[in-house]
Structure 1
Amino acid sequence: MSYVLRKLGFYAVALWAAVTLNFLIPRLLPGNPVDIMLAKLQQRGGTVTPETREAYAALLGGDSTDSLLTQYGTYLNNLLHGDLGVSVTYFPTPVTEVIGTSMPWTVVLVGIATVLAATIGVLLGAFVGWRPGTWLDSLVPMTTLLAAVPYFWLALVLVYLLSRVLGWFPSQGGYDVVLDPGWSPEFIASAIEYGFVPALTIVIASIGGWLLGMRNMMVSTLSEDYVLTARAKGLPQGQILRNYAARNAVLPSIAGFAISLGFVVSGSVVTEQVFSYPGIGSRLLAAVTNNDYALMQGVFLFITLAVLGANLVVDLLYGLIDPRTRAKA
């Protein structure tokens, strides 16, 4: 119990620090969200008065000309009440609504792609590491080379081959715009069709890292005493692979997988831009471009919660799997 309480206390402090940085970093950027909104109003022929400025400042949660301490207090108070403010970019839509409509697209796309890449990479890495020096080892440089290829270039190549040349999949968008979003079979089939190429891009680009990491851990694990003892006892090779070598070699990959799942929330900005995918990555890029403090803070907050939550789960699982971890903590 003390181990769990120490971990919870540590992550509570980490959350407070992350929330504070989340508040400060956007305000270090040049510009003022109220001025941006007033400039947009003027471009549309509107009249800007002092009363208009006060109204926009109140709507956006306070003018950035206030002291940082006052803004920080307002930010924490609104955060505790679940109010993330109004998005400048998608005015007058609240930030929670912008994130709520974009998050499912990113979680499904990047989440499924991450799970597939990790599963395939770890399984292949286990088999390659089990037989080091064979022809299977020649696959490792090929997969790591794909990981080194620029992300946007790989995405453009897949779009050209699968969409332009072969015409198998759409090149842009998240679904057929003639359909109404929902849980109908037609819409789900359309979303899968539009999301296949972006997901394939993520899998191809990230599978090499999982394969290489698992392969190297397998090679190191095979020299451990407990594996040598299992072989000396004459245990079946499949049992040694599953219960002794792979089971221990996969532990670092589990930690990396949890962190990757935490970053699923942030999406893949480059992939979503190339495919015009309606995920959270494109919303984050639009928020940075327009100095949208509220939307940036909302997206960063969700990313922070996801990453901290994933790490907390891994720490607690390690405490259950390996009692030595609890003793060292």
Structure 2
Amino acid sequence: MSGAQPQLDAIAVGTTATRVVSGHSRIPWRFLGSRAAFYLFTLWAAITINFFLPRMMKGDAVSQYLARNRNVTPEAADALRALLGLDTDKSLVEQYLDYWAHLLRGDLGVSLLHGLRPVTEVISQALPWTVGLVGFATIVSFAIGTIGGGIIGWRRGSKLDVFVPITTFLGTIPYFWLGLLAIAAFSVNLRWFPIGKAYGVGMRPEWTFEFIGQVIHHGTLPAVTIVIASLGGWMLGMRNMMLTVLDEDYITVAQAKGLPNRRVLWGYAARNAVLPQIQSFALSIGFIVGGTIVMEMVFSYPGIGKLLLDATNAKDYALMQGVFLVITISVLVANVLADFAYAFLDPRTRQTEA
């Protein structure tokens, strides 16, 4: 009959109280709109705090600069305050509006620590080093820890369980101590790797095989130490989630249907166990831009973390604000991508939110 309703497969529909329409996937506009509004508000709040926080500190960047340079005239000091948006002739509201106007034009001010160079230029030179090193190490540690934790959880009670306490113990060692031990063992004694820096003395950054080889050689030791320090958390988290998922009824049904163990492991158990890992991975990806300050300090690596540390010590507020803003935006973007990835892998999320 033409008016009869099509029969729906109960397994395809699932157990959620959500209406399924064949052939068309309903776009979760409410889910997308609520998330967009939340992150826009968070971005505004972060930028506002980024504006007011340096102005709540004792003194300002110009005062710190004048303390190091006694030969600056009062007129030059006033010009510096106006250049940095610290003009006392303007009210705090006017300074706030000027800050937004400059920000929307991509102007983050100038850095006193780097000879009045634009903050965007200073950050753009340090950012690739941090993203390249910390980003690569984070992705490698997440992949090894998640896959390894899934296999260990699947084979619970086997000899593979010994990797969990070992990696967890290595993760509890303070990073600076782990880095110093690595330098003492592999740089000082064995002389396999350089002690620090991103490339050799006398080298110029350029796209040549020699320079790329230098970068890989100098970055191997800090990258390996980051992987070792963060591997335990990923492995332990995935292993524990696998133990929880393996007790679910759908795993028992899949095994009872005679599905191959590999399909049950990766298609059913690991796919659901990895969901909480995605949120943590998104935060890690976001904080990659912030770098690992201790790592960059131990290995004298010219990344964002060391840049932020130097700016803090020099009270270079414009540079500090620029770095904080880049970190905030990177974390928000990573969370947005994690929300969509989470909703894609688990439709119940967007159904509940919508």
**TM-score, structure 1 normalization:** 0.95
The 1:289–1:67 alpha-carbon spacing in structure 2 relative to 1, beyond 3 Å, is farther
Deviation at 1:196, TM superposition (A): 0.7
Deviation string 1:269-292 (CA, Å, 9 cap, x unpaired) is 000000100001001011111211
Give the 3-state SS of the residue equivalent to 1:90 in structure 2: coil
Q: Partners in 2 of 1:57 and 1:286 — Cα distance?
A: 21
Q: Partners in 2 of 1:286 and 1:274 — Cα distance?
A: 14
Q: Partners in 1 of 2:325 and 2:255 — Cα distance?
A: 49
Q: Partners in 1 of 2:96 and 2:49 — Cα distance?
A: 11
Q: Partners in 2 of 1:159 and 1:10 — Cα distance?
A: 44
Q: Do structure 1's residue 129 and structure 2's residue 165 form an aligned pair?
A: no
Deviation at 1:80, TM superposition (A): 0.7
Deviation at 1:40, TM superposition (A): 2.2
- Given residue 222 of structure 1, which amino acid in structure 2 is its aligned partner? L
Give the 3-state SS of the residue equivalent to 2:117 in structure 1: coil
Runs of 4+ more than 6 Å apart: none
Deviation at 1:64, TM superposition (A): 6.5
Q: How does 1:157-176 map to 2 (within 5 A)?
A: 157-176=181-200
Deviation string 1:241-267 (CA, Å, 9 cap, x unpaired) is 111111111111122111111110000
Q: Do structure 1's residue 75 and structure 2's residue 103 form an aligned pair?
A: no
Deviation at 1:69, TM superposition (A): 2.3
For 2:216, which of 181, 185, 192 is the aligned residue?
Answer: 192
Q: Is the 8 A contact 1:111 1:264 kept in 2?
A: yes
- Given residue 334 of structure 2, which amino acid in structure 1 is its aligned partner? A
Q: What residue is the counterpart of 1:299 in the other structure?
A: 323
The 1:30–1:13 alpha-carbon spacing in structure 2 relative to 1, beyond 3 Å, is same
Q: How does 1:1-329 map to 2 (within 5 A)?
A: 1-42=29-70, 46=71, 48-63=72-87, 67-329=91-353
Q: Partners in 2 of 1:8 and 1:256 — Cα distance?
A: 20
Q: Partners in 1 of 2:152 and 2:160 — Cα distance?
A: 6
Deviation at 1:238, TM superposition (A): 1.4
Give the 3-state SS of the residue equivalent to 1:99 in structure 2: helix
Q: Is the 8 A contact 1:64 1:71 kept in 2?
A: no
Q: Partners in 2 of 1:155 and 1:67 — Cα distance?
A: 47
Deviation at 1:71, TM superposition (A): 2.5
Q: Partners in 2 of 1:64 and 1:19 — Cα distance?
A: 21
Bigger drift between 121-130 and 71-80 goes to 71-80
Deviation at 1:65, TM superposition (A): 8.1
Q: Is the 8 A contact 2:286 2:334 kept in 1?
A: yes
Deviation at 1:82, TM superposition (A): 0.6
Bigger drift between 155-164 and 16-25 goes to 16-25
Q: Partners in 2 of 1:205 and 1:274 — Cα distance?
A: 14
Bigger drift between 156-165 and 132-141 goes to 132-141
Bigger drift between 132-141 and 113-122 goes to 132-141
Which has the larger helix fraction?
1
Q: Partners in 2 of 1:64 and 1:124 — Cα distance?
A: 58
Structure 2 gaps of 5+ residues are 1-28
Q: Is the 8 A contact 1:27 1:293 kept in 2?
A: no
Report how many aligned residue pairs link the two structures.
325
Deviation at 1:296, TM superposition (A): 0.8
Identical columns (%): 52
The 1:270–1:66 alpha-carbon spacing in structure 2 relative to 1, beyond 3 Å, is farther
Structure 1 gaps of 5+ residues are none
- Given residue 14 of structure 1, which amino acid in structure 2 is its aligned partner? T
Deviation string 1:198-236 (CA, Å, 9 cap, x unpaired) is 111110000000000000000000000100111111222
Q: Partners in 2 of 1:31 and 1:162 — Cα distance?
A: 44
The 1:38–1:197 alpha-carbon spacing in structure 2 relative to 1, beyond 3 Å, is same
Q: Is the 8 A contact 1:107 1:267 kept in 2?
A: yes
Deviation at 1:28, TM superposition (A): 2.6
Give the 3-state SS of the residue equivalent to 2:110 in structure 1: coil
Bigger drift between 72-81 and 105-114 goes to 72-81
Q: Is the 8 A contact 1:34 1:63 kept in 2?
A: no
Q: Partners in 1 of 2:88 and 2:132 — Cα distance?
A: 36
Q: Partners in 1 of 2:265 and 2:343 — Cα distance?
A: 24
Q: What residue is the counterpart of 2:18 in the other structure?
A: none
Deviation at 1:178, TM superposition (A): 1.4
Q: Is the 8 A contact 2:111 2:318 kept in 1?
A: yes
Q: Partners in 1 of 2:99 and 2:55 — Cα distance?
A: 12
